[in-house]
């Protein structure tokens, strides 16, 4: 059983990528509808003004760490998260697992065409992978809308073992929270911009940066207009919140 660490009121499971694979496979085999979510500093910052997001994260079967800042935050609180699982790397391990175990996948997210491109790339790398659906994330997500109903019907007709939802935070979490009870998928997990990465539309930074906890800096350099606030304001704000939690008398 993975050790559970609480950071700013959110549970984070300290587990390795192999342990995550084993848990996911167990959920699928037991036909146990499960949510697997991930957190980074940006996500934990979003919980400050979105109590629903904190509650949704804490309702998940597994919440894994996808960010060095989360590990730093745990250490400041006197705790340890032993492993960081970058979803941009784990996606290939997940696809390999799904191919070997004959799990079916459904990809949901990205601009029109991106999910199809991501599916084609996964099929190119994993010839026996069973992809049962791919659809973009640019649809009306309002509960009860015609487009939303169409997407839910597509997923439920395919009945995937694993549903990957990549709308970005916190849209993907909100959509899942609103539609979770109606989705016929064994394991559902959030992926952020993972489909853009798989399709080759988003580059990762050089290896020396990603291996030394500097991926945030490489992303900032590539998308400064979109990400400057998240990193240059969000990271210090996160550390301040963690320090406040650490030293506030209880």
* pTM exceeds cut of 0.85: yes
| Through-space distance between the first and last CA atoms of the chain, rounded to whole angstroms | 28
Could you report the per-residue pLDDT of 80-130, keeping only the tens digit for each?
Answer: 999 999 998 999 999 999 999 999 999 999 999 999 999 999 999 999 999
163, 20, 6, 161: which is closest to 78 by C-alpha?
A: 6
Stronger pLDDT, 222 or 161, i.e. the higher one: 161
* Burial call 76-85: b when 16+ CB within 10 Å, e when fewer: ebebebebbb
Sheet holding 162-166, edge to edge: 3-7, 10-14, 62-65, 34-39, 187-190, 162-166, 104-109, 130-135
Could you report the per-residue pLDDT of 217-245, keeping only the tens digit for each?
Answer: 556 566 666 665 766 778 889 999 999 99
Stretch among 79-93, 166-180, 200-214 having the lowest mean pLDDT: 200-214
* β-pair partners for 38: 64
């Amino acid at each position: 059983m993975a050790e559970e660490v609480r950071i700013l009121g959110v549970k984070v499971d300290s587990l390795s990528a192999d342990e995550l694979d084993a848990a996911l496979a167990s959920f699928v085999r037991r036909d146990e509808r499960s949510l697997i979510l991930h957190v980074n500093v940006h996500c934990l910052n979003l919980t400050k003004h979105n109590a629903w997001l904190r509650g949704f994260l804490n309702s998940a079967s597994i919440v894994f760490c996808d960010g060095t800042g989360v590990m730093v935050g745990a250490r400041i609180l006197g705790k340890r998260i032993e492993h960081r699982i970058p979803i941009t790397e784990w996606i290939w391990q997940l696809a390999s697992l799904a191919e070997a175990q004959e799990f079916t996948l459904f990809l949901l997210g990205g601009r029109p065409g991106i999910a199809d491109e991501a599916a084609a790339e996964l099929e190119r790398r994993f010839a026996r992978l069973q992809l049962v659906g791919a659809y973009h994330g640019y649809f009306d997500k309002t509960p009860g809308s015609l487009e939303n109903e169409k997407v839910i019907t597509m997923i439920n007709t395919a009945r995937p073992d694993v549903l990957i939802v990549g709308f970005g935070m916190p849209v993907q979490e909100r959509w899942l929270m609103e539609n979770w009870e109606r989705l016929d998928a064994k394991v559902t997990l959030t992926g952020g911009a993972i489909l853009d990465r798989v399709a080759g539309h988003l580059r990762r930074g050089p290896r020396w940066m990603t291996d030394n906890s500097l991926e945030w800096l490489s992303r900032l350099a590539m998308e400064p207009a979109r990400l400057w606030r998240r990193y240059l304001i969000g990271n210090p704000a996160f550390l301040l919140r963690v320090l406040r939690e650490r030293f506030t008398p209880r």
